Structure formats: C-alpha cells, structure tokens
Structure 1
C-alpha cells in the first residue's frame, strides 16, 4: 500500500507539472499572437520589454522573461536584464527549437525555490526573434503534493488499523486452536495420554485435532495392552514356584523374581543392574552362572548348598539368542528340590519298610506252616501253638495291609469326612471303655478332664480313630502302674475362631529328643522291639497326623525320656465346608 501511495504521489506530481507546462505553453502561444512586439535593437527596447513583462507578471502570476536569439535577456518581470546572465545555454532555451516548447525544473538561487521554466522560440513581423520564457515556483505544487501525502498517510493509517484488527481476528482464529493443539501434543509427549483436543471445526485445523485425538487413543490403547502384558508377566514371575534370574550380554543382572530372591536371600534392588559377581554370597550359584555365561549353551545341574541349612537346588541355564543369532544373555532357573528329594528318600524307605514289615510275618507263617506240613510236630500242644503263631502273624499281616491302604486313602484325600456335632465326653467314654481291659491288664490308671457339655464339629469315626491310636500308644509305652490322662480345654473364647485343645499324656518311657521330628513318619519306631512285640504296624501316628490335618487341626508332641509324653491336638470348633468357599 505504501509503494502504491508513493507511485500515485509521483504520478500526481508529474501530471500536475505537465498540466502547468501545458498551461504555460498556451499562455506563450497567446502572447505570441497578442503581444505588441518591437524591435529589440531599439533604444528603449529593454525598458519596453521589462515594463511589459511586469504587467504580464501581474496578470498571469508568472515570471516573464524576453530573451534574444543569442541568449541576451532584454526584459524580465523580476530582475533588471543587464544584471542577468546570458541564457543561451539554459536547458529550456536549448530544448525550445522550432515549434516545440522547452521546459526545465531547477532550483533558483535568486528566490531560493524550485522553479518550472517553459520557453518557446518566437519570431514576429516587427523584428523580434528570440524566446519568451515563463517560470513559476513549484511551491504550490509541493503544497498540493504534501496535502496528498497527508491524505494518503491518513488513509493508510486507517487502512492499517482496519487490517490489524482483521488480521488479529484471523490470526487469533488460527493461532489459538494451534496453541491448544500444541499444548495437547506436549502433554501427550509427556505421557499424559488422557489429553484431548476439544475443537468443533470442520477445516484443516479441526482435522488436525481429530488426527491427534486418534493418535492419543491409539497410544493409550497400546499403552494399556503393554501395561496389561507387563502386569501379567510380573504376576507370572512373582508367582512362579521356581526362581528366575536373567543375566544380560554385558554380565549384569537384568531380571530376578520373588522366588529367586527367597532362595538366594537377597532383594532385587540390591542386585538389579549389577554384575553377576555380586552373587558371591551364593558361591555355588555364582559359579554355575559363570559356567553358563562361558559356555553359552543349555546346562543343568543339582548342587547342595548350606545357607545355613542344607538345601538341594537344581540349576538350569538357557542361552537367549535373537532371530539374527546375536547373543542377548542367559536365563537361569533355580528350583528348590529339597522336599522332592526328601520325599523320594521317604518313598524308598517306605518301600523298604513295607517289604521288611511284610516279609517278617510271611516268613514266620511260611516257616511254621512248612514245619507242620513236614510232619515234624507230633505233640498236639506244640502243633496248636504253631497254628496260633500262624494265626497271629496272619492277623498282624492283615492289620498292616489295612493300615497301609487306610493311609494311602487318607494321603490321597480320598477319605470323605462327614461332619456332625460330636459330644467329646461321650466320645472319650466309649474309647476308655474299649481300652480299659488293656489298661487294667497293666494296672494303668486312665483319667480324663473333659467339660460335660462340650461339642465340636467333625467326623466322629475319624476323631475316634485319632484318639484310639493316641491312647493305645500311651498304654503300650506306659509301664505297669502308670497313668494315662486326657485333658480338654477351650482356647480363644474371645477371638473369632475358637479352638479345642485335647492333650493325651502318659507317664511312659518318653521319646528321645532326636526322634521327635520323625515320629509321625511312616514305619518310624522309637523302640522297634517293643513295637513289634505289641503288634504295632508303625503307621498309627502317621494316620493320626493326616486325619488331624484333614480336620484343619495341628498336632505336636512334648516328651522327656523316662517321664512320659504328651500329644497335643488343637481342633477348630467349626469346620469350613467346600460349599461355603
């Protein structure tokens, strides 16, 4: 707009000056036809032309100059001709030839203004042959031009203000939504995937906002899938029964789960990101890790560790390779197989014990039967004694097989318990009645301290089996004249889950301290000679232990050699049935 204004101003100035030139040329033409020329060679020619120039100056408001053909000034409306220079070489004089009009613009030193000079060659019949020149100050033109400049500046200012207002509104309509989109994009880049662009526009900016919202939705969905997968992986790692430890290609621990922390007795933050050599407290495992990293192949090994108790750990190492064959690290699995190996030992011992227990009565039955068949016994009393032994050993063999089958069913959870209220006083009265003959035979006093109206929920037959075994053992291992006692008390009356504690104590031979941890094992006997002589199978306490656990009870023993033993069983008042879970 400014360039257009400058161009228009210049055009205005040029057109105004051309108009002045044309007017001045017409005035010269008018003078040529009306002016009373005289010969410039006359004595009073200078005075004549000077006087006429001044008259014309008043009429045309222009400076009039009469110039001879040789450039000599013979009349001027403002200065005396004799004081003026020769004008032959003036631009307007040189350009005025023939019928053409010469013009020039230059600064006048005389009046200190820019002047417009217009000249024309004039030749009259009276002998004048020279130039008539009109000149006019351009000050008026400058005033008109300045006025135009002021008008243009005012118009430009108004136009600029209008354009600024319109531009501000247009820019605000563009920049505000763009700033909003930029803020939302920055929030999304800062992991705030709930940020959304709120724009109700159908143009390109609205489409950009919808695209960013779609991108945020996609990122949020992908992040949720990643988080869900990560949570699932963490849950799987945390709940694995085996320990997992990963060593990356740089020899640093990159992953460890909860079970590995437990086995290695350390916390993840203590070892993650650190060299595997920091596992030096677990020397055996550290050496295995070192071997696996060196070999970079599948390795498996079992090692005994002492930390502080003896454990049997199975170590597995698996190398990890990318699809392109690049090595990524080693994954190590730690499995505590102590209990498994102990169970294997117990199973082997069980098989050996069963074989031994079965072999003894079978050998006796076979030996005595062969003696009788051979006819070596002629005495009827001896023959009857042999047959009694065969019968007793058969009964013992039957009890042994029955206890083995019973224990097998109990351990495999194939014994359904039928819960019902059980009156403990009546239960123990019936047991005492059954065992009283055996106690009387050894002069053993049987005592009980049981609340009169105490009921618990349980399987009466299985509870009877538990206490029959405990009391039978107490009678068997109590010397003549001793005591066997049953005490029942209620625990935790003010607590949520009340319990009943049943204590079966005797004044028998007691159990050595070294044997206490193993007395509930199958076929384990403290006094093997006494057990066999009493007809025991060695499975009674094992059956008691399993039946107690089926009733959600806890069984423990306290004993001192020579003073007696106490078996303490704690049972809940109420059982949790499967349909209540």
Structure 2
C-alpha cells in the first residue's frame, strides 16, 4: 500500500474514530454523572433517616467520642459506607474507618464548607486513608435536644461506578475496532481509485528530482488528474531542455575559469570571497575550498593585495595596480578590478590577477641586454675610429707604429665580428629557432679532435691538455652544437689558467635513480678560480668576473650564456664549482639518447 493511499485511508478512519470516541466519551460522562447523582441523593436520604432515628448524646461528655465512634461503625456496616460525625468547629468525634483522635480538623473540607453554606455539601476526591476515589456527602445536623450540633458525613467508594465505566469502554473499544476494520476496507477501495494515478505522477516527479529527465507519466485521461499528468510531462520537457542548456553553459564557464592564465577573484558586497579560480589559487597559494565564503581580509599573508581589495571595495571604482608580492619568492602581480552592478544594485568587485613577473624580468633583461650590447659595441668601434682618424690625419709617420695601429684596428674588428656573431647566435638559441641535428658521436674521437684544435693556443702558455674518456662511450647529440659547448669551456679554461697549468676533460656514463642513462662531462683547470659571490651569475650574458682580463683575452662575455642555452637545448644541466687560486670545474650532464620532439 502506497504512502498517500495509506494516509487517505487513515484520515477516513481517524474521522470515524473521532466520531465514535466523541460519542463514547459523551455517553460515559452522562452515565457517570447520572450514577453519581443517584448515589448522592441516596446518601442524602440516608443522612436524613439517620437524623430522625438516631439517639444523639452530649458531644462535650467524656463518653461522646466512644459513643459516636461506635455508632459510626454500626451504621457504616449497615449502609456499607463510611460514616463520620463532625463537630461544628470541624473536630471529628466519630468515624467508622479511623480513630477520630488521629484525624485532622475537617472544617476546611469542600463538602463541609458547602454544607455550612447550603445545608448539604458534595465532593469527589481521592482518600489517602483507604487509597480510593470517594464520593463525600455532608449534611448540617442539629438534634432536637441540642446535644449534637455539627455535620454527619457519608462517603462511599466509586469502584462500582468506575467498573461500569470500564465495561462501557470495553464495549466501545470493541465496536471501534470493528468499525475501523470496516472503514479500512471501504477507505482503501475509495483511496485506491484516487491515489493510483497520483502515485504514478509522484514516481515520475521523484525520478525527475533524481535527475532522470527522461521520465514521463503514461496516463491518458481527460479528467483533472489527466491534465495534471500532461502538465508534468510538459514541465519535464521544458526542464530537460533548460537544464541541458544551463549545464552546457556552466561547463563552458567552468572550463574557461579553470583554463584562464589570469586569476579571477570575486568579492561580494559583504566583503566575502565568492569565487576563486585555479589560477588565483596558484598565485595566492590558497585553496578555494578554504577561502570561499570567508572575508577577504583573511588573506593575511598578502598585505598589499588586501589593501588594494579594501580600497576598491570602499570606493567602488575601477582599480588598476601593479605590486610586488613575496610569496615563494618575489613576484610581480598586476591587478585590475571593476565593480559588479546588476540591475543598478552593487554586487561587489571582480578582480583580474595577472602575474607579470616573467614579463618584467624579460623587460629588464632586454634593457640590460641593449645597454650591454651598446657598451660592448661602443668600445671596439671607438678604438677603430680613434686609430683610423689618427692614421688618416697623417699623425703617424713611422711605418712600424702605423702597422701596430692597423693591427689594433684589425683585432678590434675581429672582436666586433665575434661579438656580433655571438649576439646573433644567442638570439637564435633564445628564440628557439635552432634545431638539433642529432647523431651518434664517438666521444673519444670527438675530444681528441677538439684538443688538437686548441693545442697550439695551449702550447703558447705551456698548458697541458688531457682527457679521460672511455673508448666505447657514445652519445646522441648535435655534433656542431656539442663542439661549440666544449670549445667555449676549454677556451675559457685555457685563457684563465696561468702559464704552466693544466686543463683536463673527462666523460663517464651514469644511470639515474629513475633508470635514465646520462653522460657526465667535466672540464677542470688550475686557473685563477671564480669568487663564490660571482658563481650564481656566471652564466648571465655579458657578466664578467674580471672585466679587464676578459677584454684582454678577447672574450665577448656571451660564451657561457651560449653554453648554458645549448646545454638546455640538449635537455641537460650545467653547474660550476670553483676555488680562488686553485681552479674551476664545469660539470655537464647530458642524456645518452635525445628524446624525439613531438
């Protein structure tokens, strides 16, 4: 049986039950009231009969207590009721159930108060003496000889009345059960015809609630229930279409928010964060689950951010600011905020967060690069111009001096060509326009050829060149780029090593913990070394530890920067370890095999 059908059946049964119970209660009340009234009248007549036949004695005599107690007990046995003789002041002088000496004053009892006023009093209450509900009837009595002046009270237990009521209740309960059974059968038949189609509609509504938007009511009736079923089906069609549109729009919006490179932060008019996309989570190093619904001031680590948010929310005007934040290092953030208004009502502020750290770093690098290039180009150009003007002006008559000037012009021109070549090479590498042409390289033959090329330069300074490269070791790399890497490293090692020193190159295979095979190279020298403060910047463009020594050796300041970029192009790493006055060691780790670019 379905819940609604049960409820309808129960409603009908309850209405019938309420009617029967109401009638039963009314009958029980009338029965009790009439029976109690008859008992009261009977007890009143018994008191009148007792007053006319009993011999009353002086209440103040010493025998009064015993006399009236004995009379109360005798009369109580005859009338099967409790008899009590009470003085006018409320003192009990005789009782059929209890010693009068132990009984309290009865002047304040309800029946005595009523008897004193009306001549007769009635009351129903629980008797603590016998532990039952009792009917009390008291009557004011004055004997003809004046020996007794007070109250005679009869009391009777209501057991008989209550037993009768209990029998009436049993009969009524039996009838009620029979009526309930009959009502249940009739109500079920009536309810079934009404609730069966409604149950079908309810099942369909629940399926729609559970996101089953294909559910429909199969009823084809012309009455009101049929119209309701048709309305449910039309509503389901409309709801299915609208929810599909809403879901598509929500998915699109969520996808846009999740894939935005800029952070979105929405703060409502109550200064609570209501939206925080993934980019904003990364930038602020917080979780949307923790921050949504909380006050924006709880972003305590970002003082500058909260200050800008507070300013925008207080003025309700567009905000365009750029600030440095110190979260996992120094970061530069641009913030653009606009007030959100809907229907002329202020809804809060929408902020777009864009991390411009890398852009600003590249701008600084570009500015520094332009300044360094201008400086580096200016030096040889100024030298060439100065010596050329001197020669053109005829100020040098000596042929030997003129030749030295021309040699200087030539050397500066060569240095200028190398500088321009290195700048162009570095520009191509950084713009990702350099493609690797990888092939297997036999490293022993490769380094032998390289050391032979540099041997004459090393001999001029009596520098010994040596290598330790396994004969069987091969690597997959771009040979021209690899030659450029080690030519720069070995040339620097020779240039910065004192006469009589040594330069050594080694190579060894290595298997990393993740199973990848690499080749570790090292280029060591016994030169002047590099101060520790300069080690972090040694691979920057135009950075020189000893500027005078670098220029005198013909260096452009771009060699190590080119080496670093070419190493990274081979998916490798490079590091340096150096001690002043002892020497330097450059360590490269390159993959044994290059991964194919997708």
Normalised TM-score (structure 1): 0.66
* Of 278, 301, 308, the match for 2:321: 301
- Asked if 1:178 corresponds to 2:222, the answer is no
Q: 1:80-95 alignment to 2 at 5 Å?
A: none
SS of 2:215 mapped into structure 1: coil
Partner of 1:522: 541
Partner of 1:490: 509
Contact 2:217–2:233 (Cα < 8 Å) also in 1? no
- Asked if 1:465 corresponds to 2:451, the answer is no
Indicate how the Cα distance of structure 1 residues 326 and 339 shifts in structure 2: closer, same or farther if over 3 A, else same.
same
CA distance in 1, matches of 2:247, 2:509: 51
- Measured after TM superposition, the shift of residue 434 of structure 1 is 0.7
SS of 1:280 mapped into structure 2: coil
- Measured after TM superposition, the shift of residue 396 of structure 1 is 0.6
Partner of 1:263: 283
SS of 1:315 mapped into structure 2: strand
Contact 1:364–1:393 (Cα < 8 Å) also in 2? yes
CA distance in 2, matches of 1:337, 1:494: 36
SS of 1:417 mapped into structure 2: coil
Indicate how the Cα distance of structure 1 residues 210 and 449 shifts in structure 2: closer, same or farther if over 3 A, else same.
farther
Ranges in structure 1 where 5+ consecutive residues have no aligned partner: 1-160
Q: In the TM superposition, what whole-angstrom CA distance separates every residue of 1:470-527 from its partner, at most 9, and x where no partner exists?
A: 1111212222222222222222267453222222222222222222222222111111
- Measured after TM superposition, the shift of residue 217 of structure 1 is 5.4
Q: In the TM superposition, what whole-angstrom CA distance separates every residue of 1:433-477 from its partner, at most 9, and x where no partner exists?
A: 111112222222222222222222221111111111111112122
Q: 1:40-439 alignment to 2 at 5 Å?
A: 168=189, 175-189=195-209, 191-193=210-212, 196-197=215-216, 199=218, 212=232, 215-216=235-236, 218-307=238-327, 309-322=329-342, 324-439=343-458
CA distance in 1, matches of 2:202, 2:389: 105
Indicate how the Cα distance of structure 1 residues 283 and 495 shifts in structure 2: closer, same or farther if over 3 A, else same.
closer
Q: In the TM superposition, what whole-angstrom CA distance separates every residue of 1:171-218 from its partner, at most 9, and x where no partner exists?
A: 7577434313202202423x4335624748687778866764564455
Indicate how the Cα distance of structure 1 residues 494 and 203 shifts in structure 2: closer, same or farther if over 3 A, else same.
farther
CA distance in 2, matches of 1:426, 1:215: 82
CA distance in 2, matches of 1:452, 1:173: 98
Indicate how the Cα distance of structure 1 residues 493 and 298 shifts in structure 2: closer, same or farther if over 3 A, else same.
closer
Indicate how the Cα distance of structure 1 residues 194 and 507 shifts in structure 2: closer, same or farther if over 3 A, else same.
farther
Indicate how the Cα distance of structure 1 residues 217 and 437 shifts in structure 2: closer, same or farther if over 3 A, else same.
farther
CA distance in 1, matches of 2:396, 2:242: 93
Partner of 1:87: none
- Asked if 1:556 corresponds to 2:579, the answer is no
SS of 1:543 mapped into structure 2: helix
CA distance in 1, matches of 2:561, 2:281: 34
Contact 1:501–1:570 (Cα < 8 Å) also in 2? yes
SS of 1:456 mapped into structure 2: strand
SS of 1:302 mapped into structure 2: strand
Partner of 2:530: 511
* Of 555, 558, 569, the match for 1:539: 558
CA distance in 1, matches of 2:316, 2:295: 17
Further displaced range: 195-204 or 500-509: 195-204
CA distance in 2, matches of 1:199, 1:192: 19
CA distance in 2, matches of 1:428, 1:302: 51
Indicate how the Cα distance of structure 1 residues 491 and 234 shifts in structure 2: closer, same or farther if over 3 A, else same.
farther
**In angstroms, what is the RMSD of aligned CA positions?**
2.8
Partner of 1:455: 474
SS of 2:593 mapped into structure 1: coil
Indicate how the Cα distance of structure 1 residues 223 and 564 shifts in structure 2: closer, same or farther if over 3 A, else same.
farther
Partner of 1:153: none
Contact 1:177–1:199 (Cα < 8 Å) also in 2? no
Contact 1:302–1:312 (Cα < 8 Å) also in 2? yes
SS of 2:405 mapped into structure 1: helix
CA distance in 2, matches of 1:337, 1:500: 37
CA distance in 1, matches of 2:515, 2:221: 67
Q: In the TM superposition, what whole-angstrom CA distance separates every residue of 1:401-449 from its partner, at most 9, and x where no partner exists?
A: 1111111111111122212222222221111111111222222222222
Equivalenced residues, count = 414
Q: Between Structure 1 and Structure 2, whose CA radius of gyration is higher?
A: 1
Normalised TM-score (structure 2): 0.64
CA distance in 1, matches of 2:532, 2:512: 33
- Measured after TM superposition, the shift of residue 375 of structure 1 is 1.3
Partner of 1:112: none
